[in-house]
Structure 1
């Protein structure tokens, strides 16, 4: 820690202070706090997850407690209310806590409970974004981007790059509960350093879509099964300037969307088969990670994970162990999907393009198709809960 301004020792101006206690606001404080908390939890027989270091799991005599940490915010979930109360009391003796009761609001995410499950949204957060951009009175649109909208480099530089960066950064966090915005926000994020006026106009369109779907969010219901299913898709050479492909995936657990992504591939693909094959490999990595996480949560489904793809060439390439000439240049790390399939750790199936949910993460779609996939992603308005009154 450097010597504070105006308190520098004239005899030893280049000496530093020795840190004896982590002070709030210092770079070392979060690490010191997490070390202190994790040491205490481990002493209570919690196990730190290898898949997610912020997750701690307690499992003893069929009693489960999940504890999720974000800096000094903690979520505690379990199947034994008495044990949870005992644990929180023990935690309160070690640290000064403020119990906020049942989970309803966490880091800008609103949680609405119902008999069927729960609903996640960021309505207040979205309202703040619109207020910051002065778009509370804007006219709503049906899709984030039209099928003809495209982010390109040429154009007049935007006069306020900080505003552009601030809005796009806020929208990135908003996609936590709004996967329908993933592709549009991903496109806008590629021009944070040199935004143009046309880029800002497209961001304003995204905000107009947010205005019309302000209360939308993710619906999670009690699953009838716990099958892990992943959809993988890539749009070959989508970027006109770099000719790199855009790929996306969506992973469902028991019919509930739990993971998704929309990204541009870092390398150029020579064929649609190659771009789809690379997308399959990335989706398989996510499925393997989720499987490991579910195993640590003691909730791993008995059935094998399923990977769905609509490209028959990539489907064949992932199953055929023979090296083809057109696949020689593909990175070795992409071929591990063959081992997963041959070892029985992953099963792969063909899906029709019209049912390929991940398509919405690779391009701008017409309104009917966009709304169809949005429903499949389970992005919906909040559930209506009516309370009847007493009649006199």
Structure 2
């Protein structure tokens, strides 16, 4: 891992450079860089070239990157945000709170009704931090999406919902994503679902999907749909369309990364009308 003042943009950039059968990758975010590949001599030569052009610092093997901790395991790589999660709990004064088993009450639907929360700045700060935590905690994505819809005027009920998410994080603070390599990447398999008119104020539905490459979860989302659907078929079909767009994007990304896909992608849904 390297750190270098190479770029002033806020986007993450991925570069692929190859030589015959050697493929190497460079991931750049502002001035943080990850370099990896299957040719150590080519990587060393590339690193020396960077050092000759820019003031860089080699931090050795990947351990932390943008608040994410990477831990090598016997069968892959474990990505977590343990320290970041502890910092959020400390900020909310919930580090010693009693954990709960779920991030949200089942069938709970938040609305704008209720008395306004006394410290909206704290609410927005905690919700923003939780949004970044979903990078390695996809199971809280739906709950965080729900509380994110009331940043302009949070109520006491909304803050209680945020505290419940944090208490869930307290009990699952060691959770993260485990990526395991395989000789064949397998197919992309996507699971799509949605709720109908889940927002009590606008009657908009919320779409969600999770996409796996082999056994590894590589993409997920929970997002309110922009329009009102008038049937269960319509809102499920909108969710399918959003998931299909992400599948196509991932397919092109894997192609650019020289990853061959032996099978067609699969998109799964539980609504017979939308499937038809």
TM-score w.r.t. the length of structure 2 is 0.94
Structure 1 position 30 matched with structure 2 position 8: yes
How big is the shift at 1:300? 3.1
How big is the shift at 1:119? 0.5
From the superposition, tell whether residues 113 and 53 of structure 1 become closer, same or farther in structure 2 (CA, over 3 Å): closer
Given the alignment, which residue of 186, 195, 198 partners 1:238? 198
Deviations 1:291-322 (A, max 9, x none): 01000000031211111111110001xxxxxx
Given the alignment, which residue of 108, 112, 122 partners 1:153? 112
| Structure 2, gaps ≥5 residues long | none
Given the alignment, which residue of 251, 254, 273 partners 1:294? 254
Taking only aligned residues, the RMSD between alpha carbons, in angstroms, comes to 1.5
Given the alignment, which residue of 269, 272, 275 partners 1:312? 272
Structure 1 position 227 matched with structure 2 position 187: yes
How many angstroms apart in 2 are the aligned matches of 1:54 and 1:189?
27
How many angstroms apart in 1 are the aligned matches of 2:90 and 2:198?
33
The equivalent residue for 1:358 is none
How big is the shift at 1:149? 3.0
How big is the shift at 1:148? 4.5
Structure 1 position 103 matched with structure 2 position 81: no
**Equivalent position SS for 1:141:** coil
Structure 1 position 113 matched with structure 2 position 72: yes
How big is the shift at 1:237? 1.4
How big is the shift at 1:75? 0.6
Structure 1 position 193 matched with structure 2 position 152: yes
Deviations 1:252-278 (A, max 9, x none): 001100000001100001101011111
Q: Please state which structure has a larger fraction of its residues in strand.
A: 2
Deviant stretches of 4+, over 6 Å: none
Structure 1 position 122 matched with structure 2 position 81: yes
How many angstroms apart in 1 are the aligned matches of 2:24 and 2:39?
8
Deviations 1:138-195 (A, max 9, x none): 0000000111433110111111110000000000000000001001000000000100
The equivalent residue for 1:282 is 242
The equivalent residue for 1:178 is 137
How big is the shift at 1:244? 1.1
The equivalent residue for 1:166 is 125
How many angstroms apart in 1 are the aligned matches of 2:81 and 2:202?
34
The equivalent residue for 1:273 is 233
**Equivalent position SS for 1:139:** coil
Rg larger in 1 or in 2?
1
Verify the 8 A CA contact 1:291 1:300 in the aligned structure 2: no
How big is the shift at 1:115? 2.2
How big is the shift at 1:53? 6.7
Verify the 8 A CA contact 1:161 1:195 in the aligned structure 2: yes
| Structure 1, gaps ≥5 residues long | 1-23, 35-51, 317-392
